[in-house]
Amino acid sequence: MAFGDAVYQPATMPAPDLTLSLLPAPRYLSMEEGESILAAGKLILLNTADPQLQRPIARRLQNAIRDHAGVEWTVSASSAVPKAKVGLRLNLVAGSTLHPQGYELKITPEGIDIIAATPAGIHYGSLTLLQIIRQYGAALPCLRIEDWPDFPNRGVMLDISRDKVPSMATLFALIDKIADWKINQLQLYTEHTFAYQRHPLVWADASPLTGEEILALDAYCRERFIELVPNQNTFGHMYRWLRHEPYSHLAEVSEGAQTPWGFYWHGPYSLAPANPASLDLVRDMLDELLPHFSSRQVNVGCDETFDVGQGQSKKLANEIGVGQVYLEFLLKIYREVKARGETMQFWGDIIVEHPELVPELPRDAIAMEWGYEADHPFDEHGALFAASSVPFYVCPGTSSWRTLAGRTDNAVANLRNAAEHGLKHGAIGYLITDWGDNGHWQPLPVSYLGLVYGSALAWHYHGNRERDIVADLNQAVFEDEAGRMGRIVCDMGNLYRIPGIEPHNSSVLFNALQASPGQIRQEILASAPPDLWERLHRTIMQIDDYLAELEETNMRAADAALIKQEFVWAGEMLKHGCERILWVMDESSAEIAAHLADAAARLIDDYATIWHERNRPGGFGDSVARMQEMCDAYLLERDST
Domain annotation for the chain: domains and CATH numbers:
2-147 (3.30.379.10), 160-467 (3.20.20.80), 486-639 (1.20.120.670)
Query: Model confidence over 18-44: pLDDT tens digits?
Result: 468 999 999 999 999 999 999 999 999
Q: What is the pLDDT of residue 589?
A: 80
Predicted confidence (pLDDT) at residue 8 exceeds the cutoff of 90: no
Q: Is the pLDDT of residue 1 over 70?
A: no
- CA Rg, the chain, in Å? 26
Q: What is the pLDDT of residues 515-573, one digit of tens each?
A: 999 999 999 999 999 999 999 999 999 999 999 999 999 999 999 999 999 999 999 99
Across the range 451-467, mean pLDDT stands at 97
Name the pLDDT band for 237 (thresholds 50, 70, 90).
Answer: very high
User: Is the model's pLDDT at 48 over the cut of 60?
Assistant: yes
Residue 561's CB: how many other CB atoms inside 10 A? Answer: 11
Among candidate residues 187, 155, 231, 178, the one with its CA nearest the CA of residue 458: 155
Please, which residues have CB within 8 angstroms of residue 140's CB and are 6 or more apart in sequence? Answer: 35, 36, 37, 38, 107, 112, 132, 133
3-state DSSP: the chain helix, strand, coil percent, rounded to 5? 50, 15, 35
**Type and span of the H or E element at 4:** none
What's the DSSP call for residue 84? G
Mean pLDDT, the chain, integer: 95
pTM of the model: 0.96
Q: What angle do CA 393, 399, 401 make, to 5 degrees?
A: 115
The pLDDT tens digits of the residues spanning 54-103 come to 999 999 999 999 999 999 999 999 888 899 999 999 999 999 999 999 99
Q: What is the pLDDT of residues 343-359, one digit of tens each?
A: 999 999 999 999 999 99
With a pLDDT cut of 70, the percent of the chain lying above it is 97
What's the pLDDT score for residue 641? 59
- H/E stretch holding 7 reads strand 6-7
Residues whose CB is less than 8 angstroms from the CB of residue 299 and which lie 6 or more positions away in sequence, other chains included: 187, 229, 230, 231, 232, 345, 346, 347, 368
**CA atoms within a 13 Å half-sphere pointing along the CA-CB vector of 122:** 28
Residue 591: per-residue pLDDT:
86
The phi and psi torsions of 148 (rounded to 5 degrees) equal -165, 160
DSSP 470-490: HHHIIIIIS-BTTS-HHHHHH
pLDDT band at 12, cuts 50/70/90?
A: very low
Note whether 102 and 33 are within 8 A (CB): no
pLDDT at 3: 27
Tell me the three state secondary structure of residue 104: strand
Count CB-CB contacts under 10 A for residue 604: 14
Neighbours of 19 (CB within 10 A): 10
The pLDDT value given to residue 10: 36
> Which tens digits make up the pLDDT trace of 386-407?
999 999 999 999 999 999 999 9
pLDDT digits (tens, 9 = 90+) for 161-212: 999 999 999 999 999 999 999 999 999 999 999 999 999 999 999 999 999 9
Asked if pLDDT for residue 262 goes beyond 90, the answer is no
Residues in the chain: 641
The residue-averaged pLDDT of 626-640 equals 88
Q: What percent of the chain has pLDDT over 90?
A: 93
What's the mean pLDDT in 120-136? 97
